[in-house]
Each structure stands twice: as structure tokens, then as C-alpha cells.
């Protein structure tokens, strides 16, 4: 697939988003660059949504979002009163329960008494609690590309569930203007894909370490076939480096047919659970 630009968003599910970073790069080997929020602060989710909406309206771009596009349907399937729900049914349910929460916060779904027992929300692991995973998360671990957390886990520094729930509200607002991979055929449209920055860092040889140094960032980008940005006066944050490496990683992998074909063996992935971009077929 050919794209005019590659964009990566390092995400936040906090009630007041404080970790969103956006990076973009063009085809070729040019250095990715950070996109500054218009108000000079960190991006809110609504501001990021507005920026992506404008971008996909004018370009065939590949946009990577660092959040799970769905929940494991081994558990989520029972939320619906029909036998064959889709991922869009889940997005609508999550969005409907989000109401007018600040900045598209998604925690209202996990707090609803009908669904709250399924989430690990506080304290030690509940007795008998089994943490469900989507096949793409299992495949990512098996490939040695990182260990994505279950979106049902809402506790700890690595929890991703709140980011996923907020992200589903964002996807519901973008789904008419772009193809959401792997659920849609792209047909020449912009494409939105789920990313996991640790995967790109692993591919670049960074292991599990966070990158907060210009030299380490340059080495990771070089491993992905990219030039490095000019070093700034302050050390980069790990949010910024995750976004920069992910943008270069999207560009490096976008031409690999096997990447796009990876989930085609899995009907659940294609209809309900999605797939992390860059995770190989098991």
C-alpha cells in the first residue's frame, strides 16, 4: 500500500489526558517530526481527534493509534443481545456509556455495574480472576515483540484499558472517513491501525528500555531505515520517542505484504477483535 504520510499517536486514557504525543513522517528516509499542539500544551483527545480528522480529509495517510481497538470477545460477546455482534457494536456501547465525560474519557463503561465485574479495577488480583487476551496480544508475546496488557486490566503503570475505551470513542467518530484495519477494506482511503510502540522499539533493537536520549533515539530510528531529528536542548520524553519511533516503524513496515495479511486467518480478528500492526501471523 502507498501512503502520502505516516502518523503515530502515543495515547492516554487518563481522565485528563497528559501523555499524548503525535509524530509524522513522509515516505522515504527523512526524519520523523513531532507535531506540536496548537495551544502549546500536551494534546487532549479532542484536539488529537480534530487533527486526525483534518489530516485524513486531505491525504491518504496511515495513522497508528497506541490503544487496543477492541476487547477480547471471549468475554465481551455476552454484552450484546444477539449472536453475532461486531466491533462497531462494541464501540457504540462504550461511546453511549461515556456520555458527556470530559475529553471523551471512556471509564464510564468500566464503571457500569453490568460490566465493572469483568475489569480488574483496583487492589490485588480478585480471587479467580482470569485476564483475557486477544489473539494478537498472544501472538505479539510469542513473537518476542513485547507483552501487551489485557484491556480488561485497569490497574498499574502499564494498564491500557482506559486508553482503549477512550480510543474506541475516537474510532467511532473517525470510522466514516477512513478504513479501520483490519475490519475494513481500504479501497484507496486513509487507514487507521492499532499500534504497540514497544513492537517497533523491539524491532529496532531497543529491548524493553524506554528511550529518553537523543543518541538512543537516533540508533533506533536508523535501525528502522530513518534519519534522526536534530537533537533539541532538552532530553526527549518517552512519549515523544515512542511516537517518533512508531511513525518511522509504520513507514518501514507499510510496504510489507505479510504485515497486512497477518490477521486474515482469524475471523474474530477481522470482525471483532482487531490486530496490532506489525505482529506476524502465528
| Residue 224: all three cell numbers together | 528502522
Whether the bond between 202 and the residue before it is cis, its omega within 30 degrees of 0, is no
State the sign of the Cα–Cα–Cα–Cα dihedral 245, 246, 247, 252. Answer: positive
User: What is the sign of the dihedral through the CA atoms of 103, 239, 236 and 24?
Assistant: negative
Residue 106: exposure state from Cβ atoms within 10 A (0-12, 13-18, ≥19): buried
Cell triple for 248: 518511522
CB neighbours of residue 82 within 10 Å:
6
CA nearest 164: which of 90, 102, 260? 90
Side-chain-side CA neighbours of residue 244 (13 Å) = 30
CA distances from 41 to 38, 48, 136, 240 (A): 8, 12, 34, 13
Q: What DSSP state is assigned to residue 74? A: H
Say what the pLDDT of residue 146 is.
95
The helix (H) or strand (E) run that includes residue 6 is: strand 5-10
How many angstroms separate the CA atoms of 235 and 34, rounded? Answer: 14
What was the pLDDT predicted at 10? 96
Sign of CA dihedral 277, 101, 20, 123: negative
Query: Cβ(6)–Cβ(254) under 8 Å?
Result: yes
Model confidence, pTM: 0.96
Mean pLDDT by 10 residues, the chain (282 residues): 94 89 97 94 95 98 98 96 93 96 96 94 84 96 96 88 97 98 93 97 89 94 95 88 97 92 92 97 88
- φ/ψ of 264, rounded to 5, equals -65, -15
The confidence score (pLDDT) of residue 88 equals: 98
Amino acid at each position: 500500500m502507498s501512503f502520502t504520510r505516516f502518523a503515530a499517536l502515543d495515547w492516554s486514557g487518563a481522565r485528563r489526558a497528559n501523555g499524548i504525543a503525535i509524530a509524522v513522517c513522509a515516505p522515504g528516509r527523512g526524519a520523523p517530526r513531532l507535531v506540536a499542539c496548537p495551544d502549546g500544551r500536551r494534546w487532549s483527545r479532542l484536539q488529537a481527534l480534530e487533527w486526525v480528522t483534518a489530516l485524513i480529509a486531505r491525504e491518504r495517510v496511515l495513522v497508528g493509534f497506541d490503544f487496543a481497538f477492541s476487547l477480547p470477545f471471549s468475554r465481551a460477546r455476552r454484552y450484546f443481545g444477539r449472536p453475532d455482534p461486531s466491533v462497531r457494536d462494541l464501540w457504540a456501547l462504550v461511546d453511549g456509556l461515556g456520555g458527556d465525560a470530559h475529553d471523551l474519557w471512556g471509564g464510564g463503561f468500566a464503571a457500569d455495574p453490568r460490566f465493572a465485574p469483568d475489569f480488574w479495577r483496583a487492589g490485588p488480583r480478585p480471587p479467580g480472576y482470569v485476564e483475557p487476551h486477544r489473539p494478537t496480544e498472544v501472538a505479539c508475546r510469542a513473537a518476542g515483540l513485547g507483552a501487551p496488557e489485557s484491556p480488561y486490566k485497569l490497574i498499574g503503570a502499564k494498564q491500557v484499558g482506559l486508553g482503549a475505551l477512550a480510543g474506541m470513542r475516537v474510532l467511532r467518530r473517525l470510522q466514516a472517513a477512513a478504513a479501520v484495519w483490519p475490519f475494513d477494506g481500504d479501497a484507496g482511503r486513509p487507514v487507521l491501525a492499532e499500534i504497540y510502540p514497544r513492537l517497533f522499539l523491539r524491532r529496532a533493537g531497543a529491548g524493553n528500555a524506554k528511550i529518553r536520549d537523543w543518541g538512543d533515539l537516533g540508533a533506533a530510528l536508523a535501525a528502522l531505515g530513518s534519519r534522526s531529528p536534530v537533537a533539541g536542548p532538552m532530553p526527549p520524553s518517552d512519549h515523544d520517542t515512542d511516537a517518533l519511533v512508531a511513525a518511522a516503524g509504520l513507514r518501514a513496515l507499510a510496504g510489507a505484504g505479510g504485515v497486512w495479511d497477518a490477521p486474515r486467518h482469524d475471523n474474530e480478528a477481522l470482525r471483532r477483535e482487531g490486530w496490532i500492526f506489525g505482529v506476524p501471523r502465528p
